[in-house]
Chain A
Amino acid sequence: MTTSITIPTIETENLRLRCARLSDFDAYAEFRGSDRTAYVGGPSTRTQSFDKLGEIVGHWHLRGYGRWMIADKVTDEPLGVGGLFYPADWPEPEIAWSVFAAAEGRGVAYEAARASLDYAFNTLNWTTAISCVTPGNARSIALAKRLGAVQEADFTTVDGMLLHVFRHPKPEAGA
Protein backbone atom coordinates (compact mmCIF):
# COMPACT_ATOMS: atom_id res chain seq x y z
CA MET A 1 0.00 0.00 0.00
CA THR A 2 1.47 3.33 -0.98
CA THR A 3 -1.43 5.63 -0.28
CA SER A 4 -0.84 8.68 1.82
CA ILE A 5 -3.16 10.65 3.99
CA THR A 6 -3.73 14.35 4.37
CA ILE A 7 -4.24 15.13 8.03
CA PRO A 8 -7.56 16.97 8.26
CA THR A 9 -8.15 20.20 10.16
CA ILE A 10 -11.35 20.47 12.18
CA GLU A 11 -12.76 23.66 13.65
CA THR A 12 -15.12 23.77 16.59
CA GLU A 13 -16.65 26.72 18.42
CA ASN A 14 -13.39 27.64 20.18
CA LEU A 15 -10.77 25.28 18.86
CA ARG A 16 -8.82 24.25 15.80
CA LEU A 17 -7.76 20.61 15.68
CA ARG A 18 -4.75 20.57 13.35
CA CYS A 19 -1.61 18.64 12.48
CA ALA A 20 1.15 18.82 15.10
CA ARG A 21 4.24 20.68 13.91
CA LEU A 22 7.75 21.45 15.03
CA SER A 23 6.75 24.88 16.34
CA ASP A 24 4.51 23.15 18.92
CA PHE A 25 7.51 21.42 20.46
CA ASP A 26 8.27 23.79 23.33
CA ALA A 27 4.68 23.92 24.55
CA TYR A 28 4.32 20.17 24.16
CA ALA A 29 7.66 19.41 25.87
CA GLU A 30 6.73 21.71 28.77
CA PHE A 31 3.48 19.79 29.20
CA ARG A 32 5.16 16.38 28.85
CA GLY A 33 7.81 17.42 31.37
CA SER A 34 5.27 18.49 33.97
CA ASP A 35 3.50 16.56 36.69
CA ARG A 36 0.34 16.84 34.57
CA THR A 37 1.52 13.75 32.68
CA ALA A 38 1.57 11.52 35.78
CA TYR A 39 -1.42 9.61 34.37
CA VAL A 40 -0.26 9.53 30.77
CA GLY A 41 3.17 7.94 31.07
CA GLY A 42 5.15 10.99 32.14
CA PRO A 43 6.90 13.07 33.02
CA SER A 44 8.97 12.89 29.83
CA THR A 45 12.40 14.26 28.99
CA ARG A 46 12.66 16.64 26.03
CA THR A 47 14.12 13.78 24.03
CA GLN A 48 11.12 11.59 24.82
CA SER A 49 8.76 14.49 24.11
CA PHE A 50 10.31 15.03 20.70
CA ASP A 51 9.69 11.38 19.79
CA LYS A 52 6.14 11.67 21.08
CA LEU A 53 5.49 14.77 18.97
CA GLY A 54 6.70 12.80 15.96
CA GLU A 55 4.47 9.90 16.97
CA ILE A 56 1.41 12.17 16.91
CA VAL A 57 2.06 12.81 13.22
CA GLY A 58 3.37 9.35 12.33
CA HIS A 59 0.29 7.67 13.84
CA TRP A 60 -1.85 9.21 11.09
CA HIS A 61 0.28 7.64 8.39
CA LEU A 62 0.39 4.22 10.04
CA ARG A 63 -3.27 3.99 11.09
CA GLY A 64 -5.00 6.40 8.72
CA TYR A 65 -6.27 8.46 11.65
CA GLY A 66 -4.72 9.98 14.74
CA ARG A 67 -4.47 12.81 17.23
CA TRP A 68 -4.41 16.51 16.53
CA MET A 69 -2.72 19.40 18.20
CA ILE A 70 -5.66 21.17 19.83
CA ALA A 71 -5.12 24.86 19.14
CA ASP A 72 -6.90 28.04 20.11
CA LYS A 73 -9.04 28.95 17.12
CA VAL A 74 -8.14 32.63 17.34
CA THR A 75 -4.46 32.60 18.34
CA ASP A 76 -3.47 29.08 17.13
CA GLU A 77 -1.69 28.61 20.48
CA PRO A 78 -1.38 24.87 21.28
CA LEU A 79 -3.67 23.95 24.17
CA GLY A 80 -3.47 20.17 24.22
CA VAL A 81 -3.42 16.96 22.23
CA GLY A 82 -6.43 14.86 21.40
CA GLY A 83 -8.13 12.69 18.87
CA LEU A 84 -8.08 9.08 17.73
CA PHE A 85 -5.33 6.95 19.24
CA TYR A 86 -4.38 3.34 18.66
CA PRO A 87 -0.78 2.53 19.59
CA ALA A 88 0.40 -1.04 19.18
CA ASP A 89 -0.10 -1.98 22.83
CA TRP A 90 -3.71 -0.70 23.09
CA PRO A 91 -6.81 -2.93 23.22
CA GLU A 92 -8.60 -1.11 20.37
CA PRO A 93 -8.80 2.39 18.93
CA GLU A 94 -9.65 5.06 21.51
CA ILE A 95 -10.66 8.68 21.83
CA ALA A 96 -7.85 10.42 23.73
CA TRP A 97 -7.33 13.86 25.23
CA SER A 98 -4.69 15.80 27.17
CA VAL A 99 -4.82 19.49 28.00
CA PHE A 100 -1.85 21.73 28.81
CA ALA A 101 -1.86 23.62 32.13
CA ALA A 102 -2.62 27.02 30.62
CA ALA A 103 -5.80 25.72 28.99
CA GLU A 104 -7.28 23.92 31.97
CA GLY A 105 -10.79 24.74 33.12
CA ARG A 106 -12.03 26.04 29.75
CA GLY A 107 -13.76 22.87 28.58
CA VAL A 108 -11.05 22.30 25.98
CA ALA A 109 -10.84 18.53 26.52
CA TYR A 110 -14.61 18.16 26.33
CA GLU A 111 -14.93 20.22 23.16
CA ALA A 112 -12.04 18.37 21.49
CA ALA A 113 -13.36 14.97 22.56
CA ARG A 114 -16.81 15.77 21.15
CA ALA A 115 -15.24 16.71 17.82
CA SER A 116 -13.08 13.58 17.89
CA LEU A 117 -16.10 11.37 18.54
CA ASP A 118 -17.98 13.07 15.73
CA TYR A 119 -15.04 12.48 13.36
CA ALA A 120 -14.71 8.82 14.40
CA PHE A 121 -18.40 7.95 14.14
CA ASN A 122 -19.59 10.21 11.35
CA THR A 123 -16.54 10.66 9.09
CA LEU A 124 -14.74 7.34 9.57
CA ASN A 125 -17.94 5.40 10.36
CA TRP A 126 -16.48 3.69 13.38
CA THR A 127 -19.02 1.35 14.94
CA THR A 128 -17.64 1.75 18.45
CA ALA A 129 -15.03 3.73 20.40
CA ILE A 130 -13.45 3.51 23.81
CA SER A 131 -11.35 5.79 25.97
CA CYS A 132 -8.59 4.36 28.15
CA VAL A 133 -7.87 6.07 31.47
CA THR A 134 -5.11 5.28 33.92
CA PRO A 135 -6.40 4.41 37.43
CA GLY A 136 -6.45 7.52 39.61
CA ASN A 137 -6.95 10.01 36.79
CA ALA A 138 -10.15 11.41 38.32
CA ARG A 139 -10.50 14.31 35.87
CA SER A 140 -10.38 12.08 32.82
CA ILE A 141 -12.73 9.55 34.39
CA ALA A 142 -15.17 12.39 35.06
CA LEU A 143 -14.86 13.58 31.45
CA ALA A 144 -15.40 10.07 30.06
CA LYS A 145 -18.60 9.82 32.10
CA ARG A 146 -19.69 13.31 31.06
CA LEU A 147 -19.30 12.19 27.45
CA GLY A 148 -21.72 9.36 28.23
CA ALA A 149 -19.13 6.57 28.20
CA VAL A 150 -19.69 3.52 30.37
CA GLN A 151 -16.92 1.71 32.22
CA GLU A 152 -16.09 -1.85 31.17
CA ALA A 153 -13.56 -4.42 32.36
CA ASP A 154 -10.01 -3.15 32.85
CA PHE A 155 -7.32 -3.92 30.26
CA THR A 156 -3.67 -4.74 30.92
CA THR A 157 -1.28 -3.97 28.05
CA VAL A 158 1.30 -6.47 26.86
CA ASP A 159 3.85 -4.41 28.78
CA GLY A 160 1.83 -4.73 32.01
CA MET A 161 0.13 -1.31 32.18
CA LEU A 162 -3.38 -1.32 33.70
CA LEU A 163 -6.04 0.80 31.96
CA HIS A 164 -9.64 1.56 32.85
CA VAL A 165 -11.75 1.19 29.70
CA PHE A 166 -14.78 3.42 29.02
CA ARG A 167 -17.00 2.75 26.01
CA HIS A 168 -18.74 5.62 24.26
CA PRO A 169 -22.33 5.35 23.13
CA LYS A 170 -22.74 5.19 19.37
CA PRO A 171 -24.64 8.29 18.29
CA GLU A 172 -28.12 7.75 16.85
CA ALA A 173 -28.26 7.98 13.07
CA GLY A 174 -28.70 11.59 12.05
CA ALA A 175 -28.01 12.86 15.55
Chain B
Amino acid sequence: MIAPRLETDRLVLRHHVMADFEPLYALFASQRARFMDGPFSAKQMWYWIASEVGSWSLMGFGSWGIERRVDGAFVGQMGINKPHHFPEAEIGWVVLEQHEGHGFASEAAHAALNWAWSKDHDTLVSYIDRDNARSIALAKRLGAVEDPDAPLPEGDDPSATVVYRHRRAA
Protein backbone atom coordinates (compact mmCIF):
# COMPACT_ATOMS: atom_id res chain seq x y z
CA MET B 1 0.00 0.00 0.00
CA ILE B 2 1.14 3.54 -0.69
CA ALA B 3 -0.22 6.86 0.49
CA PRO B 4 -3.67 7.65 -0.94
CA ARG B 5 -3.95 10.90 -2.87
CA LEU B 6 -5.93 13.55 -0.99
CA GLU B 7 -6.89 16.88 -2.52
CA THR B 8 -7.85 20.13 -0.80
CA ASP B 9 -8.60 23.60 -2.16
CA ARG B 10 -4.95 24.51 -2.56
CA LEU B 11 -3.00 21.32 -1.87
CA VAL B 12 -2.45 17.74 -2.88
CA LEU B 13 -1.28 15.15 -0.36
CA ARG B 14 0.45 12.38 -2.31
CA HIS B 15 2.97 9.62 -1.69
CA HIS B 16 6.56 10.69 -1.18
CA VAL B 17 8.91 10.77 -4.17
CA MET B 18 12.70 11.01 -4.20
CA ALA B 19 12.52 14.72 -5.10
CA ASP B 20 11.09 15.35 -1.62
CA PHE B 21 14.35 14.27 -0.01
CA GLU B 22 16.55 17.31 -0.63
CA PRO B 23 14.13 20.00 0.62
CA LEU B 24 13.27 17.92 3.70
CA TYR B 25 16.94 17.18 4.36
CA ALA B 26 17.78 20.89 4.07
CA LEU B 27 15.11 21.59 6.66
CA PHE B 28 15.97 18.73 9.01
CA ALA B 29 19.70 19.45 8.86
CA SER B 30 18.95 22.98 10.10
CA GLN B 31 18.03 24.45 13.47
CA ARG B 32 14.40 24.48 12.31
CA ALA B 33 14.45 20.78 13.18
CA ARG B 34 15.24 21.43 16.85
CA PHE B 35 11.67 20.55 17.83
CA MET B 36 11.72 17.34 15.76
CA ASP B 37 14.74 15.46 17.14
CA GLY B 38 17.02 17.16 14.60
CA PRO B 39 19.34 18.22 13.15
CA PHE B 40 19.58 15.02 11.09
CA SER B 41 22.41 13.45 9.14
CA ALA B 42 21.73 12.33 5.56
CA LYS B 43 21.44 8.75 6.77
CA GLN B 44 18.94 9.63 9.50
CA MET B 45 16.90 11.65 7.01
CA TRP B 46 16.81 8.75 4.56
CA TYR B 47 15.59 6.29 7.20
CA TRP B 48 13.03 8.81 8.48
CA ILE B 49 11.42 9.34 5.09
CA ALA B 50 11.75 5.81 3.76
CA SER B 51 10.37 4.24 6.95
CA GLU B 52 7.36 6.55 6.84
CA VAL B 53 6.79 5.53 3.22
CA GLY B 54 7.11 1.85 4.16
CA SER B 55 4.72 2.38 7.05
CA TRP B 56 1.81 2.46 4.59
CA SER B 57 2.55 -1.16 3.77
CA LEU B 58 3.39 -2.29 7.32
CA MET B 59 0.78 -0.30 9.29
CA GLY B 60 -1.80 0.97 6.81
CA PHE B 61 -0.88 4.62 7.45
CA GLY B 62 2.21 6.75 6.99
CA SER B 63 3.41 10.02 5.53
CA TRP B 64 2.46 12.16 2.56
CA GLY B 65 4.36 14.79 0.64
CA ILE B 66 2.36 18.02 0.38
CA GLU B 67 2.27 19.81 -2.97
CA ARG B 68 0.76 23.16 -3.90
CA ARG B 69 -1.86 22.49 -6.57
CA VAL B 70 -1.28 25.61 -8.62
CA ASP B 71 2.33 24.82 -9.49
CA GLY B 72 3.24 21.49 -7.91
CA ALA B 73 5.68 23.14 -5.49
CA PHE B 74 6.72 20.89 -2.61
CA VAL B 75 5.36 22.48 0.54
CA GLY B 76 6.13 19.98 3.30
CA GLN B 77 5.12 16.71 4.92
CA MET B 78 2.04 15.40 6.69
CA GLY B 79 2.20 12.08 8.48
CA ILE B 80 0.26 9.62 10.58
CA ASN B 81 2.83 7.31 12.08
CA LYS B 82 3.40 4.91 14.93
CA PRO B 83 7.07 4.16 15.27
CA HIS B 84 7.85 1.36 17.70
CA HIS B 85 8.48 3.66 20.68
CA PHE B 86 5.15 5.52 20.29
CA PRO B 87 2.31 4.22 22.47
CA GLU B 88 -0.24 5.24 19.81
CA ALA B 89 -0.46 6.74 16.33
CA GLU B 90 0.56 10.35 15.93
CA ILE B 91 -0.33 12.97 13.36
CA GLY B 92 2.53 15.36 12.66
CA TRP B 93 3.43 17.99 10.11
CA VAL B 94 6.26 20.08 8.82
CA VAL B 95 6.11 22.98 6.37
CA LEU B 96 9.12 24.44 4.56
CA GLU B 97 10.04 27.91 5.78
CA GLN B 98 9.26 29.60 2.47
CA HIS B 99 5.72 28.20 2.56
CA GLU B 100 4.87 29.20 6.13
CA GLY B 101 2.10 31.65 6.91
CA HIS B 102 -0.47 30.48 4.35
CA GLY B 103 -2.34 27.98 6.51
CA PHE B 104 -1.03 25.05 4.47
CA ALA B 105 -0.32 22.87 7.52
CA SER B 106 -3.86 23.40 8.78
CA GLU B 107 -5.39 22.63 5.39
CA ALA B 108 -3.31 19.48 4.95
CA ALA B 109 -3.94 18.34 8.53
CA HIS B 110 -7.69 18.63 8.04
CA ALA B 111 -7.45 16.38 5.00
CA ALA B 112 -5.29 13.83 6.81
CA LEU B 113 -7.56 13.82 9.87
CA ASN B 114 -10.65 13.33 7.72
CA TRP B 115 -8.90 10.47 5.95
CA ALA B 116 -8.03 8.89 9.32
CA TRP B 117 -11.59 9.23 10.65
CA SER B 118 -12.89 7.65 7.44
CA LYS B 119 -10.55 4.69 8.12
CA ASP B 120 -12.01 4.04 11.57
CA HIS B 121 -9.30 5.69 13.62
CA ASP B 122 -11.10 7.11 16.67
CA THR B 123 -8.24 9.19 17.98
CA LEU B 124 -4.77 10.42 17.11
CA VAL B 125 -2.27 12.34 19.17
CA SER B 126 0.29 15.01 18.37
CA TYR B 127 3.48 14.95 20.45
CA ILE B 128 4.75 18.52 20.44
CA ASP B 129 7.75 20.21 22.01
CA ARG B 130 6.46 22.61 24.69
CA ASP B 131 8.52 25.39 23.10
CA ASN B 132 7.01 24.83 19.64
CA ALA B 133 4.33 27.50 19.93
CA ARG B 134 3.33 27.37 16.26
CA SER B 135 2.55 23.65 16.33
CA ILE B 136 0.69 23.94 19.62
CA ALA B 137 -1.41 26.75 18.15
CA LEU B 138 -2.19 24.63 15.10
CA ALA B 139 -3.11 21.58 17.19
CA LYS B 140 -5.58 23.73 19.12
CA ARG B 141 -7.00 25.22 15.93
CA LEU B 142 -7.54 21.69 14.66
CA GLY B 143 -9.64 21.00 17.73
CA ALA B 144 -7.09 18.89 19.60
CA VAL B 145 -7.09 19.09 23.39
CA GLU B 146 -4.14 18.74 25.71
CA ASP B 147 -4.14 15.27 27.27
CA PRO B 148 -1.92 15.26 30.35
CA ASP B 149 -2.72 11.59 31.04
CA ALA B 150 -1.62 10.28 27.65
CA PRO B 151 1.48 8.07 27.74
CA LEU B 152 4.55 9.58 26.10
CA PRO B 153 6.88 8.06 23.53
CA GLU B 154 9.56 5.99 25.19
CA GLY B 155 12.36 8.30 26.26
CA ASP B 156 10.32 11.51 26.09
CA ASP B 157 10.15 13.81 29.10
CA PRO B 158 6.84 15.38 30.18
CA SER B 159 8.68 18.63 30.91
CA ALA B 160 9.60 18.83 27.21
CA THR B 161 6.77 17.10 25.35
CA VAL B 162 3.07 17.92 25.47
CA VAL B 163 0.39 15.61 24.07
CA TYR B 164 -2.55 17.02 22.12
CA ARG B 165 -5.35 14.59 21.40
CA HIS B 166 -7.50 14.67 18.27
CA ARG B 167 -10.81 12.83 18.33
CA ARG B 168 -13.25 11.84 15.66
CA ALA B 169 -16.48 13.75 16.05
CA ALA B 170 -19.14 11.57 17.67
Contact = CB atoms under 8 A, between A and B. Distances in A.
Contacts of B46: 55, 87-89
B89 to A, nearest CB: 13
A53 B58 contact: yes
A51 B42 contact: no
Contacts, number: 94
Interface stretch (A57-65, A94-102, A129-137, A166-174): A57-65
B54 A89 contact: no
A159 B21 CA distance: 16
Given A22-B58, A53-B54, A54-B52, A47 B83 contact: yes
A99 to B, nearest CB: 21
B135 interface: no
Contacts of B52: 54, 58
B13 to A, nearest CB: 12
A159 B16 contact: no
Contacts of A87: 43, 46-47, 50
* Residue among A49, A51, A63 facing the most chain B CB atoms (10 A cut-off): A51
A36 interface: no
A157 interface: yes
Q: Which applies to chain A's interface (DSSP): helix, strand, loop or mixed?
A: helix
Contacts of B17: 1, 62
Contact of B47 (A19, A21, A52, A158): A52
A46 interface: yes
Interface in B33-52: 41-43, 45-52
B55 interface: yes
A28 B18 CA distance: 26
Given A47-B85, A52-B51, A57 B57 contact: yes
Given A54-B54, A157-B43, 14 more contacts: A1-B17, A20-B54, A50-B51, A55-B51, A56-B54, A58-B49, A58-B54, A62-B16, A62-B50, A62-B53, A63-B18, A87-B50, A88-B21, A89-B42
Give the 6 A-B residue pairs with the shortest CB-CB distance, closest first. Answer: A58-B53, A57-B54, A54-B51, A58-B54, A54-B54, A58-B50
